[in-house]
Amino acid sequence: MATINSKLTIKKMSIKNRLVLAPITTNYGSQDGLVTNDILCFYKERSRDVGILIVEATSVQSSGRIVPGSLGLWNDSQIPGMTKLVKTIQQEGALAVVQLNHAGPRCPPDKNQKHGFSPSDVAFRPDVEPIEMDTQDIELLINDFSKAAIRAVKAGFDGIEIHGAHLYLLSQFLSPLTNKRKDRYGGDAKDRAILALEIVRKVRKELGREYPIFFRINAVEKIDGGQTLEDALVIGSLLADEGVDVFDVSLIAHGGFKVLEDNPKVTSKTLLAGSSALPKDQPSGANVAFTTAFKERIGLPVIAVGKFGIGKAAFKAVENEKIDMVAIGRQMICDPKTAQKMLAGNDKDIIACDECLKCFATIGKGAPMACKVNKNLPF
Ligand SMILES: Cc1cc2nc3c(=O)[nH]c(=O)nc-3n(C[C@H](O)[C@H](O)[C@H](O)COP(=O)(O)O)c2cc1C
């Protein structure tokens, strides 16, 4: 029986245990998408005890950043900093995976950029008008994902993760909430998957058969009309056929549409919002059943996420629920030694995250990530 301490091999990755640092946008990068000292500090502190560290959403185009200080792999000048980051992570003992992303119409506004790339016309920010992508935009995006993936390999990453979750651009193509297209990129779940499939196909072709490719996906979107588990499993099976190796199974835990009052300064009046974090009233491990469904239907290694850290949920997921790895997000922001304390059975020493969501709130305002409990960030 696998335990949280069991080793795992995925292609060339020899993973020392089942703990993963979930991708966390810190807004600690430079305005050019470069690695900074704060980035190195944050990840160094969190690399010692996890098997895999997934570096935050890293943009494949300068117009695709979640926050102004998102990391980037849209040009070659970003490779040396990333190489330093990879070495830092690996020296501390974790494998380094980088998450590749385009934030679509959720990027902060930028006067000089066509920043609102979107499948259809659903807005997420009052100040960013979504721009429906044409075929040329789509081709460019596919190429830019593959170029960023090649740069990730050059930087020495052990694997890449394509961000297809949380209603960023790829996820918007997958979701019936945001993809209303009438061309071949829209329609039923299989059609909505076409862009993601084309990206994975191109990336796989460029990186070869042996390079590990993870895909982060919403198992469900808990918003009326959102993606269902069955749709996610259909999409997941198609992605597996294209060569995805690992499913990092996340979700939209809550959200919805809101209508803004009339305001001449605001371009979009109806906004969609969705959160990847389980609300306070849901227990750790609440997402495990969705993740097990992926494992059972598709058979590939899976990562579960959702309030792991304190308590036995992570242990039970690996031992009893067919989960290969568990990712920890907020608890590792709050106490960087969470993984070490879990592995040593020192639960009572873990400094608990109080789920105040200050981490989300700070980056949402464009400020560097802060935490109410851990005043010492980036450490
Ligand atoms: C501040 C913050 C930034 C995040 N940034 C990312 C990101 O860049 N990419 C991603 O896929 N998920 C991101 N997430 C979601 C986490 O990876 C994780 O799925 C979520 O926090 C739930 O796990 P937890 O309950 O352990 O925090 C972020 C979460 C937080 C709190």
Q: What is the mean pLDDT of residues 57-69?
A: 95
Q: Is 235 in the pocket of ligand 1 (CB under 6 A)?
A: no
Residue 285: per-residue pLDDT: 86
What ligand 1 atom has the least distance to the C-alpha of 248?
11
Q: Is 276 in the pocket of ligand 1 (CB under 6 A)?
A: yes
CA of 184 to the centre of ligand 1 (A): 31
Give the type of residue at 6: S
H or E element that contains 135: helix 135-155
Q: Is 57 in the pocket of ligand 1 (CB under 6 A)?
A: yes
CA of 182 to the centre of ligand 1 (A): 32
**Per-residue confidence at 61, pLDDT binned at 50, 70, 90?**
very high
Structure tokens belonging to residue 150: 């090649």
Residue 267 has pLDDT above 70, yes or no: no
State what percent of residues in the chain have pLDDT above 90: 84
- Tell me the best of 24, 169, 282 to mutate to test the pocket of ligand 1, counting ligand atoms within 8 Å of each CB and taking the most: 24
Low-confidence winner among 109-113, 167-171, 294-298, 359-363 (lowest mean pLDDT): 109-113
Structure tokens belonging to residue 335: 């106490």
Would you say 56 and 24 are in contact if contact means Cβ atoms under 8 Å apart? yes
> Distance (Å, rounded) from C-alpha 254 to C-alpha 81?
36
Q: Which of 361, 183, 179, 359 is nearest to 272 (CA)?
A: 179
Q: Is 22 in the pocket of ligand 1 (CB under 6 A)?
A: yes
**Per-residue confidence at 258, pLDDT binned at 50, 70, 90?**
confident
Low-confidence winner among 103-107, 114-118, 173-177, 249-253 (lowest mean pLDDT): 114-118
Render pLDDT for 17-31 as a digit per residue (tens, 0 to 9): 999 999 999 999 999
What is the number of structural domains in the chain?
Answer: 1
Question: Which one has a higher pLDDT value, 38 or 109?
Answer: 38
Q: What is the mean pLDDT of residues 305-320?
A: 95
Q: Is residue 128 part of a domain?
A: no
Q: Residue 19: beta bridge partners?
A: 326
Residue 116: per-residue pLDDT: 85
Q: What is the mean pLDDT of residues 125-150?
A: 94
Would you say 27 and 363 are in contact if contact means Cβ atoms under 8 Å apart? yes
Render pLDDT for 89-105 as a digit per residue (tens, 0 to 9): 999 999 999 999 999 98
Residue 80 has pLDDT above 70, yes or no: yes
Q: Is 244 in the pocket of ligand 1 (CB under 6 A)?
A: no
Residue 260: per-residue pLDDT: 78
What ligand 1 atom has the least distance to the C-alpha of 161?
11
> Distance (Å, rounded) from C-alpha 149 to C-alpha 263?
41
Protein residue with its CA nearest to atom 20 in ligand 1: 277
Q: Is residue 349 part of a domain?
A: yes
Mark residue 225 as left, alpha or beta (left: phi above 0; alpha: psi -120 to 50; beta: remaining).
Answer: left
State what percent of residues in the chain have pLDDT above 70: 97
Would you say 36 and 71 are in contact if contact means Cβ atoms under 8 Å apart? no
What ligand 1 atom has the least distance to the C-alpha of 22?
17
How is the chain split among helix, strand and coil, in percent rounded to 5?
35, 20, 45
Protein residue with its CA nearest to atom 2 in ligand 1: 24
pTM, rounded to two decimals: 0.96
**Per-residue confidence at 55, pLDDT binned at 50, 70, 90?**
very high
Q: What is the mean pLDDT of residues 272-277?
A: 89
Q: Which of 178, 247, 256, 250 is nearest to 222 (CA)?
A: 256
Q: What is the mean pLDDT of residues 139-165?
A: 98
Residue 108: per-residue pLDDT: 83
Q: Is residue 1 part of a domain?
A: no
**Per-residue confidence at 114, pLDDT binned at 50, 70, 90?**
low
Query: Rounded to a whole number, what is the largest CA-CA distance in the chain?
Result: 61
Domain that holds residue 99: 8-112+133-252+277-364
Residue 126: per-residue pLDDT: 83
Q: Is 334 in the pocket of ligand 1 (CB under 6 A)?
A: no
Residue 257 has pLDDT above 60, yes or no: yes
Protein residue with its CA nearest to atom 14 in ligand 1: 24
> Distance (Å, rounded) from C-alpha 364 to C-alpha 368?
9
Q: Is residue 46 part of a domain?
A: yes
Rg from Cα positions in the chain: 19
CA of 301 to the centre of ligand 1 (A): 20
Q: Is 324 in the pocket of ligand 1 (CB under 6 A)?
A: no
What ligand 1 atom has the least distance to the C-alpha of 332?
26
Q: Is residue 353 part of a domain?
A: yes
Residue 354: per-residue pLDDT: 94
Which segments of 222-287 does DSSP mark as H helices, in order? 229-242
Q: Is residue 125 part of a domain?
A: no
Q: Is residue 139 part of a domain?
A: yes
CA of 195 to the centre of ligand 1 (A): 23
Residue 111: per-residue pLDDT: 67
> Distance (Å, rounded) from C-alpha 100 to C-alpha 327?
17
Residue 110: per-residue pLDDT: 74
Is the sign of the CA dihedral 347, 348, 350, 352 positive or negative?
positive
Residue 112 has pLDDT above 80, yes or no: no
* CATH number for the domain harbouring residue 340: 3.20.20.70
Render pLDDT for 198-214 as a digit per residue (tens, 0 to 9): 999 999 999 999 999 99
Q: Is residue 27 part of a domain?
A: yes
Which three-class secondary structure string do you get for 220-237? EECCCCCCCHHHHHHHHH
